[in-house]
Amino acid sequence: MFNLIFKDILIQKKVIIFYIATIIIYLLVDVSPIPIVVLYSLTFINMALSYDEKDNANILLNSLPYTRKEIVSSRYVGVLIFTSLFIIITYGGSFLLNGKETSFSWKAILLIMGLVMVAISFMLPVFYKFKRQYLVFAAGALIGIYLVTSKFLVPDLNKILRELIRKFLTLQETQMYLIAIPTIAILYIGSWLLSIRIYERKAF
């Protein structure tokens, strides 16, 4: 299964240099590491899904000695691994650029992982059921809704979101974590099982 995960890294090995370069640029202009890691993790997965749709890649994958369960599982495990790598790259780069001024906490890691896992929980079942183009349409619609909302309905939306993130990172309460962590884990595992079910029934 880990060969399937490593495949995604090999396919995007040239693009990874671009990822690292742009991450450094974002850090230099003082963008928070949290949205950087979330954005690049989701972009990496989206690119991996696009390669799976090219040249009948799914037919090739199903001709290899892997079960469909392993193929889907490699994607969900890969998400956690790739996000962890982007956390290391981003916070490592921030430390090299800013030194001790880098704000690094386990709360930030939990927030990043939680956001990515929630997004992937909705993305992958849609991808396996339909096609990647539906994800693009859905993402475009969400971005459009966000822009309209922040422009006309809630002008201070960006400031509100930043304040919510700041409050989350400064919370001392453990009760929220005891609720949020199991909820996200159940959502992720449920999505994982649903994707396996969808993929096993799919004909190529």
Per-run averaged pLDDT (10 residues), the chain, 204 residues: 81 85 85 86 86 67 79 93 92 77 72 91 86 61 66 69 70 69 93 93 72
Helices (DSSP H) in the chain: which residue ranges? 2-11, 13-28, 33-53, 57-63, 68-98, 106-129, 132-148, 157-170, 175-200
Site of tokens 């992720």 = 188
- Cβ-Cβ contacts under 8 Å for 157 (sequence gap 6 or more): 146, 149, 150
CA distance 82 to 90: 12
| Residue-level pLDDT at 101 | 53
Of 203, 52, 181, the closest CA to residue 124 belongs to 52
| Residue-level pLDDT at 129 | 82
- The amino acid sitting at 119 is A
- Cβ-Cβ contacts under 8 Å for 40 (sequence gap 6 or more): 19, 23, 86, 90
Domain positions in the chain are: 2-200
- Cβ-Cβ contacts under 8 Å for 123 (sequence gap 6 or more): 42, 45, 46, 135
Of 38, 189, 60, 66, the closest CA to residue 124 belongs to 189
Give backbone dihedrals phi and psi of 137, rounded to 5 degrees, phi first.
Answer: -60, -45
How many other β-carbons are positioned within 10 Å of the β-carbon of residue 6?
A: 13
CA distance 185 to 118: 9
pTM: 0.79
| Residue-level pLDDT at 16 | 85
CA angle (182, 67, 123) in 5-degree steps: 45
3-class secondary-structure state, position 59:
helix
Decide if 24 contacts 17 (C-beta within 8 A). no
Residue 150 carries which DSSP code?
Answer: I
Token representation of residue 35:
């949205």
